[in-house]
Copies of this chain bind each other. A is one copy, B any other.
Amino acid sequence: MSNSFTRTTKQRNAVIEVLRDHKGFISAQDIHNFLKNSASTVGLSTVYRTMTALTTSNDVDVMLREDGEALYRLCSSVHHHHLVCRDCGTTIEIQADYVEAWAKDVSQAHGFSDIDHTVEIVGICKKCKK
């Protein structure tokens, strides 16, 4: 947790708490709704501001749902990708050195530089499979 806040607030702690307790990716709107039905309510603006900060500090990963809504998740800081269950949201962090190397090779082969890549796998996990 290397975020760049200069002060500690209960609102931010509440948001981070929700992220900690949630196993998969979750939207800002859902974090806000969840806290609405709890002891510590947090303004929607604050949720968004917190997510932006946590994203910048690399404490959370962002994933875009098909409709474009942003989903967030507390993640380890080492580079990795995700295997996500389409139903329950359960997320497994995956690493694959070969894929990293492949991305670099393909890019160089075509003369591209300053590479960034997206690799996500979505499917149905064992539990959700009937």
Contacts and interface: CB of A to CB of B under 8 A. Distances in A.
A114 B85 CA distance: 10
B118 A118 contact: yes
B64 A85 contact: no
Q: How many copies does the complex hold?
A: 2
A98 B83 CA distance: 17
Contacts of A121: 103, 106-107, 112, 115-118
Interface stretch (A15-23, A30-38, A122-130): A122-130
B116 A124 contact: no
Contact of A94 (B69, B106, B129): B106
A96 to B, nearest CB: 6
A112 B124 contact: yes
Interface string A36-71: 000000000000000000000000000010101110
A98 B102 contact: yes
A110 interface: yes
Given A68-B69, A94-B106, A107-B121, 10 more contacts: A83-B110, A111-B125, A112-B123, A112-B126, A113-B124, A115-B121, A115-B122, A115-B123, A117-B120, A118-B118
24 contacts: A64-B64, A68-B68, A68-B69, A68-B70, A83-B106, A86-B114, A92-B110, A94-B106, A96-B106, A99-B102, A103-B121, A106-B121, A107-B121, A107-B123, A110-B125, A111-B129, A112-B121, A112-B126, A113-B123, A113-B124, A114-B123, A114-B124, A116-B122, A117-B121
